[in-house]
A = this chain, B = another copy of it.
Amino acid sequence: MPKTKTSKEEVLNKIIPILRVRGVQNSSMNELAKACGIQKSHFYYYFNSKEALIKEVLSIVYSYFNYNIFKIIDHKSLTLPDKITKVKHLMEKLFKASDGGCIMANTALETIHLNPTYKKEIQSFFSDFIKGVQRLLESNYTSQESIVLAEQIVQDIEGGILLTQVYTDPKYLNNAIARMEKIILKQ
């Protein structure tokens, strides 16, 4: 048997899409390992446990989101409409229904009443999500208005991700994103 050469990063990037679609509980170590072309025993060389594996996955997703959204928002030479366009693209990528929607929301609902391990990371994700939207609002709204509106927009989007998956219809997420744009631009 030829040994398959892999790395921890490679493995993580391969399993994120699977966990997003199938969920944490519905993805076995065996299944995840097979998808990477390695034995599951080798997973325990990279990670101490399934829990440790999931923690690293969520950490990577969080870092990716955090880095990209604030890179857009804090960009010096982008106009507000340009920033909105880029943020929309980021969301469409991260929340695409056919790819399983929002892995943070999925994992939250799957684990939050059972296992507090992932709670911090999930909270950080949503805090940054809200904070990012809030920043986009602050040019047209007061700080107080911005925070409430940002929460509303994030709730609308997450609910839209849910309905888009329930009905296999992108309109719910698209409507939420369109509403976000209108609110930010105060149209």
Which stretch, A1-9, A20-28, A56-64, A135-143, touches the partner chain B?
A20-28
Copies per complex? 2
A-side binding surface: helix, strand, loop or mixed? helix
Interface residues of A (CB under 8 A from B): 21-23, 25-26, 100-101, 105-106, 108-110, 112-114, 119, 122-123, 126, 148, 151-152, 154-160, 162-163, 165-167, 172, 175-176, 179
Complexed CA–CA distance, A100 and B152 (Å): 21
Tell me the smallest distance from the CB of A106 to a CB of chain B, in Å.
Answer: 5
Inter-chain contact A175/B159, CB cutoff 8 Å:
no
Closest residue of chain B to A21, judged by CB?
B113
A169 to B146 CA separation, bound complex (whole angstroms): 19
Min CB gap A101→B, angstroms: 7
